[in-house]
Amino acid sequence: MCGIAGVIGATTTKKEELITKMTEVIHHRGPDQDGFFCDQNVGLGMRRLSIIDISAGKQPIENADSSLLIFFNGEIYNYKELRAELLAEGRIFKTHSDTEVILQMYEAHGPKSVSRLRGMFAFSIYNKHTGKLFIARDFFGIKPLYYWKPASSNGEIKAFGSEIKSILEHPEYKKEVNHEAVFNYLRFQYNPIKETFFKDIFTLAPGHTLTIDTKAGTHKIEQYWDFSFAPDNTRDLEETKKEIVDTLRDSVAHHMISEVPVGSFLSGGVDSSIIATLMNEVIQKEKPGSKNSTFTVGFDVLTEGKEAATTSDFLGTDHTEVTIDPSTYWSVLPKLVWHFDEPVADPSAIALYFVAKEARKKVTVVLSGEGADELFGGYNIYLQPIDQKSLSWIPAWFLKVLTAMPFEFWGKNHAKRALQKLEDWYIGNASIFTNSQIKKLWKGEQPPKHSLAPLYEKAQGNGTASDSEKMQYIDIHTWLVGDILAKADKMTMANSLELRVPFLDIEVTKLARTLPDSFKWKNGVTKYALREAFKGIIPEETRHRRKLGFPTPIRVWLRDPACPAYAAIRESKYIQEHLNIDFIEQLIKEHTSNTKDNARHIYILYMLALWYRVFMEK
């Protein structure tokens, strides 16, 4: 695991000095080693967190004739199998690292070799002779990759990096807020568009490659993979249950490949319990009597400690629980906003930071359950289209009258959605400010609203996709990469801890995409086939537990009018200039008086205020 960065162009002077700054600012991603390469066209560098082939895996790694070199962030879990193939082809290796396997695969098979990689990655391969720079990002976007393309440069890319803050070190980059990103962040709680909060800095989309001709100043972006569902309605449930267990068992075993200590996060839910249980199998097979290290996090007024302990006691793990109080939570936020680069207003992200900080005291790698809900249908909101069928007998005119009532009642939103197309209300698992609220909140002309219409068109497939499946598809292409994986990478890397996600293994994906709806949702139960597959393997209490995650008590903490969030929001220059303070004061008053729960709305504004302070005012 590493952080990579690069500067491009013959006109850029002092490349050695600049690339050193660009990598030093992401020292947290790789405190063990650094590595650099500079010529007339590029300055490339990295920070390394040593995991595999610790002694010989220093980067950059070159091919036999030194014409190609690679800088790599991530892990390739099938590198041993690929290495064996390459050896059979007569290729010679200098190391036992997965980094060299990527380079040799590229040299032997070209850009198409990326689709053969089983893992998480963002890497750059440079050809010294041609000046071509090849960059790739993994299938789901587990590892981040950003690039700077100035509007004034005729499309020429000037820099790239694992984190935006590396690009900000470039002396020619002048920081400017991208208002379109901020505007859409208010709806999604993360930035859903390709251009970041920083004008002219973009994210390379998952499953894409970027090829740059550093001499000509041109570039090409190509997609090598995209996720889609292909439900197989002929599947047998019993056979599928066995296949699920076998596939996940293989994935976890591959994700445990490491030369440093490995542990796991354990929230008390079914996903993390499955991971911890399968890890325990591997450990007992390889080192009988050894214990897996598991970690969970709780708060002084809200904790999952008891739920996590059910699994940890069952497995006999070396378990650690971290407890956070409100003062500790609020005090660390400015630092974590810096680590995020762009605000992600997911309160659980901060919990992830603290549990990662504790885990790093014992291990260098953790496995976690991200991706299971998106692939296997775990979010309760996916049940809504199924539940809405129970309202089909009620005349539409009556539902319209009912939902127009000037007071709130249980099921009102459910009834409203029954009157709408899915495309009109579902923008992903998180939806904070509604369109009507944004009209009150945003001053002046509104920037373009991010449209999910192209994704919904793809989600249709051959026209047989259910609304629940469409919701999964939308989340996999938006929420998963913009929120779930962003916080997983940034909050663990802030602690120099590598997080691996076995549910997002490409082999698991091949299976999950074929599950019919009846295997995902049944009688109000989510992830039905996944839960059934692990019957008798994980504790029954855990197997039946509803979605938990790492919940946070910000709703309670924000009831306090003296909470530091309110002063930060009111004093923010950006908020004062672009947002309606009177409307914000109304939200605060409603929440502190316990009239309404506006916690998520307030939190999203607080994270915006902190981001502007950290990056634009300092």
Query: Strand 42-48 to strand 365-367: parallel, antiparallel, or no bridges (unpaired)?
Result: unpaired
Q: Are 46 and 2 in contact (CB under 8 A)?
A: yes
The letter for the amino acid at 475 is D
DSSP 514-570: T--GGGTEETTEESHHHHHHTBTTB-HHHHTPPP-SS---HHHHTTSTT-HHHHHHH
Nearest to 502 by CA among 376, 418, 417, 411: 376
Helices 326-340 and 348-359: crossing angle, nearest 10°? 90
Burial of 263 (0-12, 13-18, 19+ CB in 10 A): buried
Q: Are 240 and 254 in contact (CB under 8 A)?
A: no
Residue with tokens 């080693």: 33
- For 205, the token pair is 């989309």
Rounded to the nearest angstrom, the gap between the alpha carbon of residue 307 and the centroid of all alpha carbons in its chain is 25
Q: Are 183 and 115 in contact (CB under 8 A)?
A: no
DSSP state of 164: H
Q: How far apart are CA 152 and CA 158, in angstroms?
A: 11
| Active site (annotated) includes residue 2 | yes
Map 242-310 to HEC letters: HHHHHHHHHHHHHHCCCCCCEEEECCCCHHHHHHHHHHHHHHHHHCCCCCCEEEEEEECCECCHHHHHH
Three-state SS for 38? strand
**What sign results for the dihedral spanned by CA atoms 381, 383, 389, 394?**
negative
Q: How far apart are CA 495 and CA 297, in angstroms?
A: 15
Residue with tokens 């291990």: 363
- Considering the candidates 1, 2, 7, 114, report the single residue annotated as catalytic: 2
Q: Phi/psi of residue 267, each to 5°?
A: -85, -15
- For 46, the token pair is 């990295």
Q: Are 377 and 472 in contact (CB under 8 A)?
A: yes
The total of other beta-carbon atoms located within 10 Å of residue 11's CB is 9
Beta bridge partners of residue 124, listed in sequence order: 71, 135
Nearest to 471 by CA among 352, 367, 388, 404: 388
Q: How far apart are CA 241 and CA 528, in angstroms?
A: 10
Supply the residues annotated as catalytic: 2
